[in-house]
Amino acid sequence: MAWDLRKLLEVAADVFSHTNLPWAYFHSFRRDVSTVRIWERTVEEEAHQQGIHPDTGSLLSAEDLRALEAFHEGATGYFGKMFSYIVDFVRKGVKEGRFTEEQARADLQIALWYSYSCINLTSYEYYYRAMQWMPDSEKNAKGCATWYYRYSCALMYCSRLEEALKYAEQGAKEEPDYPWIWLQVGKLRYYFGDKKGALEAVKQGLSLEPGDYEFLTLGREIELGASLEQMEFHWINPDADRDLLNGLDEEADDKICTISCLTVNPEGLARFHRIFTPGLVTDYVKNSPYCRFNYQTQHGKVEVVFKMNEAGLSKLQADWLVMVKDALDDGRWAAHRTTENQEGALETIVLGLDYSILLEYKLKGPDEGYVQVWLNKDGTPVSNESGD
């Protein structure tokens, strides 16, 4: 096949060096003939091929890391901008062919910054985003308790508490000198009935961070028999935490909404199903990330979306749920007429943890589109319509 095999292999090596292949070998299927290595990238070449920066070991450059660090200021930061920076970085890199989405999701530094921004945005939706993102980088997280801590937090706020404990315990084994993993271990051990183990976790944390406010607070609340929700109703900064506990924090209601997604109230969940009469509810989907179903009314089928998981759903007030069901049944929200005299039929209703109500109507006629109407908790309009 080739009079000059050496020349052939040299040319092949040159060709393969210009591809994305990590290695290439030549083998002749004869007895007692060994394999010839034509081409194999070094570790450094492979990292360069994948867009990994040697100084950071990540797809993120040192400049990217400095930009991300600049979004953080003491006890607070611009976490929305941090999140957008990471999302835009990944989207742009994939579009330009510098790396794949799979490589980005497996990158440990990207996972750490992505989860950090999500956790500090403190809403159920962002905890859910972090929970979805983190598993792809687990293979690269060995020895990094920070990764386990942040993944455990995301799991906990999505009401996946057994998994949250599992990853917290694993993080403590991977890097026992990382203090904050012991906060997670302590809270979750106590939730699952291990008070002794929880206090041991607090002791371990205080040995690493003597006199730390969070560990002292956690130890006190464990002794008082606090619930997981009560343990989470805190800020890291002591001054900010005192304002929160004294009712002086404007974000307190939002924090309560997010904390409501931690644990399921079985009685509340059963009450929800009784109110909405299971016989009229079809295609019920839970925790993905929201709870949604189709509800059959006398005017047609309406998609009902609760922007929360079942834990949050189980904490909603019964009289409010009854009001929503009655409004669907009696048709008071079934139709809407715009200021341009276009008629719309109710297609979707979106309900929030803050008791907000969003009605989405599909317009009839040749100019099909949608119009949205926001309602107060009591079902009265709160804003002007906005259409597509």
Domains and CATH numbers, the chain: 5-40 (no CATH), 54-259 (1.25.40.10), 266-387 (no CATH)
Predicted pLDDT of residue 26: 78
Name the pLDDT band for 206 (thresholds 50, 70, 90): very high
pLDDT-derived band of residue 388, with 50, 70 and 90 as boundaries?
A: very low
- Report residue 220's pLDDT band, with 50, 70 and 90 as the boundaries: very high
What value does the mean pLDDT take over residues 223-248?
Answer: 94
Q: Taking Cα atoms as reference points, which of 162, 203, 205, 211 lies closest to residue 182?
A: 205
- For the stretch 246-300, pLDDT in tens is 999 999 999 999 999 999 999 999 999 999 976 666 789 999 999 999 999 988 8
What per-residue confidence (pLDDT) applies to 79?
Answer: 96
Q: State the pLDDT at residue 278.
A: 64
Q: Which of 121-125, 245-249, 365-369, 383-387 has the highest mean pLDDT?
A: 121-125
What confidence score (pLDDT) does residue 30 get? 60
Q: What is the pLDDT of residues 33-81, one digit of tens each?
A: 567 777 665 544 444 445 789 999 999 999 999 999 999 887 688 999 9
pLDDT at 196 over 50: yes
In the block, tokens 């619930």 appear at 227
The 10s digit of each residue's pLDDT in 177-194 is 999 999 999 999 999 999
